[in-house]
Amino acid sequence: MDILDKSERKTLLAPLLENDWSMVDGRDAIGKTFHFKTFRHAFAWMTQSALWAEKMDHHPEWANTYNEVSVVLQTHSAGGLTMLDIKLATRMDAARHPA
Amino acid sequence: MDILDKSERKTLLAPLLENDWSMVDGRDAIGKTFHFKTFRHAFAWMTQSALWAEKMDHHPEWANTYNEVSVVLQTHSAGGLTMLDIKLATRMDAARHPA
Amino acid sequence: MDILDKSERKTLLAPLLENDWSMVDGRDAIGKTFHFKTFRHAFAWMTQSALWAEKMDHHPEWANTYNEVSVVLQTHSAGGLTMLDIKLATRMDAARHPA
Amino acid sequence: MDILDKSERKTLLAPLLENDWSMVDGRDAIGKTFHFKTFRHAFAWMTQSALWAEKMDHHPEWANTYNEVSVVLQTHSAGGLTMLDIKLATRMDAARHPA
Protein backbone atom coordinates (compact mmCIF):
# COMPACT_ATOMS: atom_id res chain seq x y z
CA MET A 1 0.00 0.00 0.00
CA ASP A 2 1.55 3.33 -1.12
CA ILE A 3 1.66 6.55 0.87
CA LEU A 4 -0.89 9.04 -0.51
CA ASP A 5 0.64 11.36 -3.10
CA LYS A 6 0.05 15.09 -3.37
CA SER A 7 -2.89 14.74 -5.71
CA GLU A 8 -4.60 12.10 -3.58
CA ARG A 9 -4.18 14.25 -0.50
CA LYS A 10 -5.93 17.11 -2.26
CA THR A 11 -8.88 15.06 -3.49
CA LEU A 12 -9.28 12.39 -0.80
CA LEU A 13 -7.73 13.72 2.41
CA ALA A 14 -8.97 17.30 2.18
CA PRO A 15 -12.68 16.39 2.53
CA LEU A 16 -11.91 14.48 5.75
CA LEU A 17 -9.97 17.45 7.13
CA GLU A 18 -13.10 19.54 6.52
CA ASN A 19 -15.15 16.96 8.44
CA ASP A 20 -13.40 17.29 11.83
CA TRP A 21 -10.42 15.05 11.07
CA SER A 22 -7.05 16.73 11.58
CA MET A 23 -3.39 15.93 10.99
CA VAL A 24 -1.68 14.46 14.06
CA ASP A 25 1.21 16.61 15.27
CA GLY A 26 4.55 15.25 14.12
CA ARG A 27 3.12 12.21 12.32
CA ASP A 28 1.72 11.48 8.88
CA ALA A 29 -1.53 10.40 10.53
CA ILE A 30 -5.05 11.75 11.03
CA GLY A 31 -7.14 11.94 14.19
CA LYS A 32 -10.69 12.74 15.24
CA THR A 33 -12.60 12.72 18.50
CA PHE A 34 -16.14 11.36 18.27
CA HIS A 35 -18.82 12.26 20.83
CA PHE A 36 -21.85 10.07 21.57
CA LYS A 37 -24.91 10.25 23.82
CA THR A 38 -23.78 7.50 26.16
CA PHE A 39 -21.14 4.80 26.63
CA ARG A 40 -23.54 2.37 24.96
CA HIS A 41 -23.71 4.45 21.80
CA ALA A 42 -19.94 4.87 21.82
CA PHE A 43 -19.24 1.17 22.24
CA ALA A 44 -21.79 0.09 19.63
CA TRP A 45 -20.06 2.41 17.16
CA MET A 46 -16.70 0.97 18.16
CA THR A 47 -18.08 -2.51 17.47
CA GLN A 48 -19.25 -1.55 14.01
CA SER A 49 -15.89 0.09 13.32
CA ALA A 50 -14.06 -2.97 14.69
CA LEU A 51 -15.95 -5.20 12.25
CA TRP A 52 -14.86 -2.96 9.37
CA ALA A 53 -11.30 -2.85 10.66
CA GLU A 54 -11.11 -6.63 10.87
CA LYS A 55 -12.62 -7.02 7.40
CA MET A 56 -10.02 -4.60 5.98
CA ASP A 57 -7.23 -5.97 8.21
CA HIS A 58 -6.50 -2.34 9.07
CA HIS A 59 -6.96 -1.29 12.69
CA PRO A 60 -7.21 2.07 14.43
CA GLU A 61 -5.37 3.43 17.44
CA TRP A 62 -8.27 4.55 19.61
CA ALA A 63 -9.07 5.58 23.16
CA ASN A 64 -12.46 5.65 24.87
CA THR A 65 -13.64 7.46 27.98
CA TYR A 66 -17.36 7.08 28.59
CA ASN A 67 -19.08 8.75 25.61
CA GLU A 68 -15.96 9.90 23.76
CA VAL A 69 -13.71 8.03 21.37
CA SER A 70 -10.47 9.53 20.06
CA VAL A 71 -9.19 7.85 16.91
CA VAL A 72 -5.80 8.01 15.18
CA LEU A 73 -5.34 6.40 11.78
CA GLN A 74 -2.07 5.58 10.04
CA THR A 75 -0.83 2.66 7.95
CA HIS A 76 2.03 1.50 10.17
CA SER A 77 3.54 -0.81 7.55
CA ALA A 78 3.77 2.13 5.14
CA GLY A 79 4.86 4.69 7.73
CA GLY A 80 2.13 7.15 6.78
CA LEU A 81 -1.33 7.72 5.34
CA THR A 82 -2.61 5.40 2.61
CA MET A 83 -5.94 4.62 0.95
CA LEU A 84 -6.68 2.27 3.87
CA ASP A 85 -6.82 5.23 6.24
CA ILE A 86 -9.05 7.22 3.89
CA LYS A 87 -11.39 4.24 3.62
CA LEU A 88 -11.53 3.48 7.36
CA ALA A 89 -12.05 7.15 8.26
CA THR A 90 -14.93 7.34 5.78
CA ARG A 91 -16.48 4.16 7.20
CA MET A 92 -16.17 5.46 10.76
CA ASP A 93 -17.95 8.66 9.78
CA ALA A 94 -20.68 6.68 7.99
CA ALA A 95 -21.17 4.35 10.94
CA ARG A 96 -22.54 7.29 12.95
CA HIS A 97 -25.63 7.30 10.73
CA PRO A 98 -28.85 5.30 11.26
CA ALA A 99 -28.80 1.54 10.89
CA MET B 1 -41.78 -7.81 38.81
CA ASP B 2 -45.53 -8.11 38.15
CA ILE B 3 -47.19 -9.26 34.94
CA LEU B 4 -48.65 -6.28 33.07
CA ASP B 5 -52.30 -5.72 33.96
CA LYS B 6 -55.07 -4.89 31.52
CA SER B 7 -54.63 -1.15 31.86
CA GLU B 8 -50.87 -1.30 31.37
CA ARG B 9 -51.30 -3.43 28.29
CA LYS B 10 -53.59 -0.81 26.80
CA THR B 11 -51.31 2.14 27.48
CA LEU B 12 -47.81 0.60 27.28
CA LEU B 13 -48.04 -2.53 25.15
CA ALA B 14 -50.40 -1.23 22.48
CA PRO B 15 -47.94 1.38 21.12
CA LEU B 16 -45.30 -1.34 20.65
CA LEU B 17 -47.82 -3.54 18.82
CA GLU B 18 -48.39 -0.61 16.44
CA ASN B 19 -44.61 -0.37 15.91
CA ASP B 20 -44.06 -3.84 14.39
CA TRP B 21 -43.92 -5.80 17.63
CA SER B 22 -46.45 -8.65 17.82
CA MET B 23 -47.66 -11.18 20.38
CA VAL B 24 -45.84 -14.51 20.15
CA ASP B 25 -48.18 -17.39 19.39
CA GLY B 26 -49.08 -19.33 22.51
CA ARG B 27 -46.93 -17.27 24.88
CA ASP B 28 -47.37 -14.06 26.84
CA ALA B 29 -44.36 -12.64 24.99
CA ILE B 30 -43.67 -10.14 22.20
CA GLY B 31 -41.49 -10.49 19.13
CA LYS B 32 -40.10 -8.35 16.33
CA THR B 33 -37.76 -8.89 13.41
CA PHE B 34 -35.29 -6.07 12.77
CA HIS B 35 -33.69 -5.54 9.35
CA PHE B 36 -30.36 -3.76 8.87
CA LYS B 37 -28.16 -2.78 5.92
CA THR B 38 -25.42 -5.27 6.69
CA PHE B 39 -24.23 -7.76 9.29
CA ARG B 40 -22.07 -4.99 10.75
CA HIS B 41 -25.08 -2.76 11.37
CA ALA B 42 -27.01 -5.69 12.84
CA PHE B 43 -24.23 -6.70 15.20
CA ALA B 44 -23.52 -3.14 16.35
CA TRP B 45 -27.20 -2.80 17.25
CA MET B 46 -27.04 -6.13 19.08
CA THR B 47 -24.06 -4.81 21.06
CA GLN B 48 -25.91 -1.68 22.09
CA SER B 49 -28.95 -3.78 23.04
CA ALA B 50 -26.71 -6.22 24.94
CA LEU B 51 -25.30 -3.34 27.00
CA TRP B 52 -28.83 -2.27 27.90
CA ALA B 53 -29.84 -5.83 28.68
CA GLU B 54 -26.88 -6.31 30.99
CA LYS B 55 -27.54 -3.00 32.73
CA MET B 56 -31.18 -4.02 33.30
CA ASP B 57 -30.27 -7.64 34.05
CA HIS B 58 -33.00 -8.55 31.58
CA HIS B 59 -31.96 -10.40 28.44
CA PRO B 60 -33.66 -11.10 25.11
CA GLU B 61 -34.10 -14.36 23.22
CA TRP B 62 -32.74 -13.40 19.83
CA ALA B 63 -31.56 -14.94 16.59
CA ASN B 64 -29.38 -13.39 13.90
CA THR B 65 -28.87 -14.31 10.27
CA TYR B 66 -26.69 -11.83 8.40
CA ASN B 67 -28.63 -8.51 8.43
CA GLU B 68 -31.72 -9.72 10.31
CA VAL B 69 -32.31 -10.07 14.03
CA SER B 70 -35.47 -11.70 15.41
CA VAL B 71 -36.17 -10.83 19.03
CA VAL B 72 -38.54 -12.36 21.58
CA LEU B 73 -39.04 -10.68 24.94
CA GLN B 74 -40.60 -12.17 28.06
CA THR B 75 -39.80 -11.99 31.77
CA HIS B 76 -39.10 -15.66 32.42
CA SER B 77 -39.17 -15.33 36.21
CA ALA B 78 -42.68 -13.84 36.00
CA GLY B 79 -43.94 -16.15 33.28
CA GLY B 80 -45.12 -13.32 31.07
CA LEU B 81 -44.75 -9.70 30.02
CA THR B 82 -43.66 -7.11 32.59
CA MET B 83 -42.40 -3.53 32.58
CA LEU B 84 -38.90 -4.91 31.89
CA ASP B 85 -40.06 -6.11 28.47
CA ILE B 86 -41.74 -2.80 27.66
CA LYS B 87 -38.56 -0.98 28.61
CA LEU B 88 -36.17 -3.25 26.69
CA ALA B 89 -38.41 -3.21 23.58
CA THR B 90 -38.46 0.58 23.69
CA ARG B 91 -34.69 0.74 24.07
CA MET B 92 -34.18 -1.67 21.18
CA ASP B 93 -36.36 0.51 18.96
CA ALA B 94 -34.49 3.64 20.07
CA ALA B 95 -31.09 2.04 19.45
CA ARG B 96 -31.86 2.03 15.71
CA HIS B 97 -31.59 5.83 15.69
CA PRO B 98 -28.42 7.89 15.14
CA ALA B 99 -25.65 7.88 17.73
CA MET C 1 -16.60 -22.37 -3.07
CA ASP C 2 -17.29 -26.08 -3.66
CA ILE C 3 -19.43 -28.35 -1.53
CA LEU C 4 -17.23 -30.68 0.54
CA ASP C 5 -16.61 -34.01 -1.21
CA LYS C 6 -16.70 -37.42 0.41
CA SER C 7 -13.01 -37.41 1.26
CA GLU C 8 -13.11 -33.93 2.81
CA ARG C 9 -16.10 -34.89 4.90
CA LYS C 10 -14.15 -37.84 6.30
CA THR C 11 -11.02 -35.87 7.15
CA LEU C 12 -12.36 -32.40 7.96
CA LEU C 13 -16.00 -32.75 8.99
CA ALA C 14 -15.68 -35.91 11.09
CA PRO C 15 -13.48 -34.28 13.78
CA LEU C 16 -16.07 -31.53 14.25
CA LEU C 17 -18.85 -34.11 14.59
CA GLU C 18 -16.80 -35.69 17.38
CA ASN C 19 -16.53 -32.29 19.08
CA ASP C 20 -20.27 -31.69 19.68
CA TRP C 21 -21.16 -30.43 16.21
CA SER C 22 -23.95 -32.39 14.50
CA MET C 23 -25.63 -32.51 11.11
CA VAL C 24 -28.79 -30.37 10.96
CA ASP C 25 -31.88 -32.42 10.19
CA GLY C 26 -32.86 -32.16 6.53
CA ARG C 27 -30.06 -29.76 5.55
CA ASP C 28 -26.44 -30.07 4.51
CA ALA C 29 -25.48 -27.92 7.50
CA ILE C 30 -23.91 -28.36 10.92
CA GLY C 31 -25.04 -27.07 14.29
CA LYS C 32 -23.77 -26.81 17.86
CA THR C 33 -25.05 -25.29 21.08
CA PHE C 34 -22.43 -23.49 23.17
CA HIS C 35 -22.88 -22.97 26.93
CA PHE C 36 -21.16 -20.16 28.84
CA LYS C 37 -21.01 -19.01 32.45
CA THR C 38 -23.02 -15.85 31.88
CA PHE C 39 -24.55 -13.67 29.18
CA ARG C 40 -21.36 -11.60 29.25
CA HIS C 41 -19.22 -14.59 28.41
CA ALA C 42 -21.64 -15.64 25.68
CA PHE C 43 -21.76 -12.21 24.07
CA ALA C 44 -17.99 -11.69 24.21
CA TRP C 45 -17.59 -14.99 22.38
CA MET C 46 -20.20 -13.90 19.84
CA THR C 47 -18.21 -10.70 19.29
CA GLN C 48 -14.99 -12.61 18.64
CA SER C 49 -16.87 -14.94 16.28
CA ALA C 50 -18.51 -11.98 14.56
CA LEU C 51 -15.09 -10.45 13.88
CA TRP C 52 -13.97 -13.72 12.29
CA ALA C 53 -17.18 -13.99 10.32
CA GLU C 54 -16.80 -10.48 8.95
CA LYS C 55 -13.15 -11.08 8.07
CA MET C 56 -14.13 -14.27 6.19
CA ASP C 57 -17.31 -12.70 4.78
CA HIS C 58 -19.06 -15.85 5.97
CA HIS C 59 -21.71 -15.47 8.66
CA PRO C 60 -23.47 -17.90 11.00
CA GLU C 61 -27.15 -18.40 11.70
CA TRP C 62 -27.19 -18.15 15.49
CA ALA C 63 -29.57 -17.71 18.39
CA ASN C 64 -28.77 -16.57 21.92
CA THR C 65 -30.73 -16.94 25.14
CA TYR C 66 -28.81 -15.71 28.18
CA ASN C 67 -25.74 -18.00 28.47
CA GLU C 68 -26.48 -20.27 25.49
CA VAL C 69 -25.73 -19.77 21.82
CA SER C 70 -27.01 -22.18 19.17
CA VAL C 71 -25.13 -21.98 15.89
CA VAL C 72 -25.95 -23.33 12.42
CA LEU C 73 -23.37 -23.13 9.66
CA GLN C 74 -23.93 -23.56 5.94
CA THR C 75 -22.62 -21.82 2.84
CA HIS C 76 -25.88 -20.47 1.46
CA SER C 77 -24.44 -19.56 -1.94
CA ALA C 78 -23.25 -23.16 -2.39
CA GLY C 79 -26.35 -24.78 -0.92
CA GLY C 80 -24.36 -26.90 1.53
CA LEU C 81 -21.20 -27.32 3.57
CA THR C 82 -17.91 -25.94 2.25
CA MET C 83 -14.44 -25.22 3.61
CA LEU C 84 -15.78 -21.90 4.92
CA ASP C 85 -18.01 -23.76 7.37
CA ILE C 86 -15.18 -26.03 8.50
CA LYS C 87 -13.02 -22.99 9.08
CA LEU C 88 -15.63 -20.93 10.94
CA ALA C 89 -16.63 -23.91 13.12
CA THR C 90 -12.97 -24.45 14.04
CA ARG C 91 -12.53 -20.76 14.86
CA MET C 92 -15.67 -20.73 17.01
CA ASP C 93 -14.36 -23.71 18.98
CA ALA C 94 -10.94 -22.05 19.38
CA ALA C 95 -12.48 -18.77 20.53
CA ARG C 96 -13.65 -20.50 23.71
CA HIS C 97 -10.03 -20.77 24.85
CA PRO C 98 -8.08 -18.17 26.86
CA ALA C 99 -7.19 -14.85 25.30
CA MET D 1 -18.78 5.81 47.06
CA ASP D 2 -15.88 6.54 49.45
CA ILE D 3 -12.19 6.74 48.54
CA LEU D 4 -10.38 3.60 49.70
CA ASP D 5 -8.87 4.04 53.18
CA LYS D 6 -5.42 2.89 54.26
CA SER D 7 -6.60 -0.51 55.43
CA GLU D 8 -8.57 -1.20 52.22
CA ARG D 9 -5.57 -0.23 50.12
CA LYS D 10 -3.45 -2.78 52.00
CA THR D 11 -5.91 -5.65 51.66
CA LEU D 12 -7.68 -4.92 48.35
CA LEU D 13 -5.37 -2.75 46.27
CA ALA D 14 -2.08 -4.47 47.08
CA PRO D 15 -3.03 -7.78 45.38
CA LEU D 16 -3.85 -5.92 42.17
CA LEU D 17 -0.50 -4.09 42.31
CA GLU D 18 1.15 -7.51 42.48
CA ASN D 19 -0.83 -8.58 39.41
CA ASP D 20 0.57 -6.03 36.92
CA TRP D 21 -1.62 -3.11 37.89
CA SER D 22 0.30 0.02 38.92
CA MET D 23 -0.47 3.44 40.34
CA VAL D 24 -0.86 6.12 37.64
CA ASP D 25 1.69 8.89 37.99
CA GLY D 26 0.21 11.95 39.69
CA ARG D 27 -3.30 10.52 40.07
CA ASP D 28 -5.09 8.33 42.59
CA ALA D 29 -5.79 5.83 39.81
CA ILE D 30 -4.52 2.43 38.65
CA GLY D 31 -3.49 1.29 35.20
CA LYS D 32 -2.59 -1.91 33.37
CA THR D 33 -1.72 -2.86 29.82
CA PHE D 34 -3.27 -6.10 28.59
CA HIS D 35 -1.75 -8.08 25.70
CA PHE D 36 -3.78 -10.46 23.52
CA LYS D 37 -3.08 -12.79 20.61
CA THR D 38 -4.93 -10.70 18.05
CA PHE D 39 -7.23 -7.70 17.68
CA ARG D 40 -10.16 -10.11 17.82
CA HIS D 41 -9.13 -11.41 21.22
CA ALA D 42 -8.55 -7.88 22.46
CA PHE D 43 -11.91 -6.59 21.27
CA ALA D 44 -13.85 -9.59 22.60
CA TRP D 45 -12.30 -8.94 26.01
CA MET D 46 -13.22 -5.25 25.70
CA THR D 47 -16.80 -6.28 24.97
CA GLN D 48 -16.98 -8.49 28.05
CA SER D 49 -15.46 -5.68 30.13
CA ALA D 50 -17.88 -3.16 28.60
CA LEU D 51 -20.83 -5.33 29.64
CA TRP D 52 -19.49 -5.37 33.22
CA ALA D 53 -18.83 -1.65 33.15
CA GLU D 54 -22.35 -0.90 31.98
CA LYS D 55 -23.86 -3.22 34.59
CA MET D 56 -21.83 -1.45 37.32
CA ASP D 57 -22.34 1.99 35.75
CA HIS D 58 -18.60 2.43 36.17
CA HIS D 59 -16.52 2.84 33.03
CA PRO D 60 -12.80 2.62 32.26
CA GLU D 61 -10.52 5.01 30.42
CA TRP D 62 -8.94 2.69 27.89
CA ALA D 63 -6.94 2.75 24.68
CA ASN D 64 -6.53 -0.01 22.11
CA THR D 65 -3.92 -0.53 19.42
CA TYR D 66 -4.29 -3.86 17.62
CA ASN D 67 -3.68 -6.55 20.30
CA GLU D 68 -2.98 -4.24 23.24
CA VAL D 69 -5.39 -2.49 25.58
CA SER D 70 -4.18 0.04 28.17
CA VAL D 71 -6.66 0.64 30.97
CA VAL D 72 -6.87 3.37 33.62
CA LEU D 73 -9.41 3.09 36.42
CA GLN D 74 -10.56 5.83 38.78
CA THR D 75 -13.90 6.84 40.24
CA HIS D 76 -14.20 10.32 38.76
CA SER D 77 -17.10 11.36 41.00
CA ALA D 78 -15.02 10.52 44.07
CA GLY D 79 -11.75 11.92 42.72
CA GLY D 80 -9.83 8.74 43.45
CA LEU D 81 -9.90 4.98 43.87
CA THR D 82 -12.98 3.32 45.34
CA MET D 83 -14.39 -0.20 45.65
CA LEU D 84 -15.79 0.21 42.12
CA ASP D 85 -12.26 0.32 40.72
CA ILE D 86 -11.18 -2.72 42.74
CA LYS D 87 -14.19 -4.61 41.46
CA LEU D 88 -13.82 -3.62 37.80
CA ALA D 89 -10.07 -4.37 37.83
CA THR D 90 -10.77 -7.81 39.29
CA ARG D 91 -13.45 -8.47 36.65
CA MET D 92 -11.14 -7.38 33.85
CA ASP D 93 -8.46 -9.77 35.08
CA ALA D 94 -11.02 -12.59 35.37
CA ALA D 95 -12.38 -11.94 31.88
CA ARG D 96 -9.06 -13.11 30.42
CA HIS D 97 -9.87 -16.66 31.54
CA PRO D 98 -11.78 -19.31 29.56
CA ALA D 99 -15.47 -18.85 28.88
Per-residue pLDDT tens digits for C11-44: 999 999 999 999 999 999 999 999 999 999 999 9
Q: Which of A24, A43, A55, A68 to mutate to test the interface with D (most CBs of D within 10 A)?
A: A43
Amino acid letter at C64? N
Residues of chain C positioned with their CB less than 8 A from the CB of A47: 47
A98 pLDDT band (50/70/90 cuts)?
low
Rounded CA separation B92/B31 (Å):
12
DSSP secondary structure string, B39-61? Answer: HHHHHHHHHHHHHHHHHHT---E
Residue D28 counted as domain residue: yes
Residue C83 counted as domain residue: yes
Rounded CA separation C6/C19 (Å):
19
Residue C67 counted as domain residue: yes
Report the percent of chain C where pLDDT is more than 90.
95
Candidates A40, A48, A98; nearest CB to B98 = A98
Q: Which of A34, A38, A51, A64 to mutate to test the interface with B (most CBs of B within 10 A)?
A: A51
Is 80 exceeded by the pLDDT of residue A83? Answer: yes
Residue of A nearest to B93 (CA): A99
Residue D99 counted as domain residue: no
Candidates A36, A51, A52; nearest CB to B99 = A36
Based on the structure, what is the number of domains in chain A? Answer: 1
Strands B22-23 and B61-65: unpaired
Domain of residue A81: give its range.
6-22+29-94
Across the interface, whether the CB atoms of A51 and B43 are under 8 A apart is answered yes
Residue A1 counted as domain residue: no
Q: Partners for C (CB, 8 Å, 3+ pairs)?
A: A, B, D
Residue B40 counted as domain residue: yes
CATH number at C76 reads 3.30.1360.20
Residue D11 counted as domain residue: yes
Residue A99 counted as domain residue: no
Q: Mean pLDDT check: name the lowest of A50-59, D6-15, D89-98.
A: D89-98
- Angle in degrees, CA A40, A43, A49, rounded to 5: 145
Across the interface, whether the CB atoms of C47 and D43 are under 8 A apart is answered yes
Residues of chain A positioned with their CB less than 8 A from the CB of C47: 47
DSSP annotation of A88 reads: H
Residues in chain B predicted with pLDDT less than 70, given as ranges, are: 98-99
Provide the ipTM: 0.94
